[in-house]
Amino acid sequence: MNSPFKRIGLFIRKDDPVMENAVIQVTEFLLSKSLSIVVNEPLSFLTDLNVISINEFPQNCDLTIAIGGDGTLLSASRVLSGTGLPIVGINVGRLGFLADVTLAKLEQQLSEILNGNYREDTRFLMHASVINGGEKSVGKAMNDVVIHTHQSLHMIEFETYINGRFLNSQRADGLVVATPTGSTAYAMSAGGPILDVDLDAVVLASVCPHTLSNRPLVVAASSVIDIVLSEKNTTSAMVTCDGRPGHILQPGDTVRINRHPSNIKLLHLGGHDHYSILRAKLEWGRKLT
């Protein structure tokens, strides 16, 4: 096989107990194609694989294969963003919008990608920081940045500014700021619209707002979004990026969200169709005949 990808980095999350059979199946297939393999975690069931940090993948790999679900692919994407190293997702979970290679059709689908028959998909990320006197980085997000209540059933009160211009003040359980990639995640559950993945935009969706006139809003991805927590809040809040453990917020803190300068490169099957994935995952009706 004359593949453009000779060195493969396998990315898995160590805490996922269903990975063993999937990793063995993927590894056996790659070895049958005489490709070199490294993995980001030591595996008790495949002890002969070289283990390196994912931070070393760009210098040692031509392709990263993330085995798991969308969460696994998101974890790899945050680390590899800006490196130019492409990622392929193998979906072992249930609801996968990003990882579209399946174990059932692994050999056929992965062979196509390894042979160069793929569609390249570039996604952008956001960056969140907290401002209170100084500015502290919280992290990158490929799906969403969420400001939410922390260990309390009380709503939080906050103001939103877009590019320095006042938008609104509201009381809610939180606010989701999502990329097109993340518009099918928490933002959709909060009533936000599904954004086409090619849009250069982000959506702001309130979580259980006190006033029903607070509707989802779509703004340009280049916007600087400031969320200012009211000094009157009697409870703390938290900001999280892609659902990871976040940063505790205090009354008066400002969360600044803007586009991150780096992108991530995903590889899909040549016949990849985002709308067919939406139909399948959301159980939308088929075309009438």
Question: Looking at the annotation, which residues are catalytic?
Answer: 70
Q: Which residue's structure tokens are 């586009």?
A: 259
Beta-strand relationship, 7-11 and 63-68: parallel
Work out the burial of residue 245: count CB atoms within 10 Å of its CB; fewer than 13 is exposed, 13-18 middle, 19 or more buried. exposed
Q: State the angle between helix axes of 19-32 and 106-114 in degrees (0 to 180), rounded to the nearest 10.
A: 50
Beta-strand relationship, 247-249 and 165-172: unpaired
CA atoms within 13 A on the CB side of 105: 9
Lookup: tokens for 121: 């998909």
How far apart are alpha carbons 55 and 60 in whole angstroms? 10
Phi-psi region of 191 (alpha: psi -120 to 50; beta: other; left: phi over 0): left
Strand partners, 247: 239
String of DSSP letters for 148-164: EE-S-SS-EEEEEEETT
Q: Is 145 in contact with 246 (CB distance < 8 Å)?
A: no
What is the SS3 assignment for 80?
A: helix
The candidate with the shortest Cα–Cα distance to 179, out of 190, 165, 194, 189, is: 194
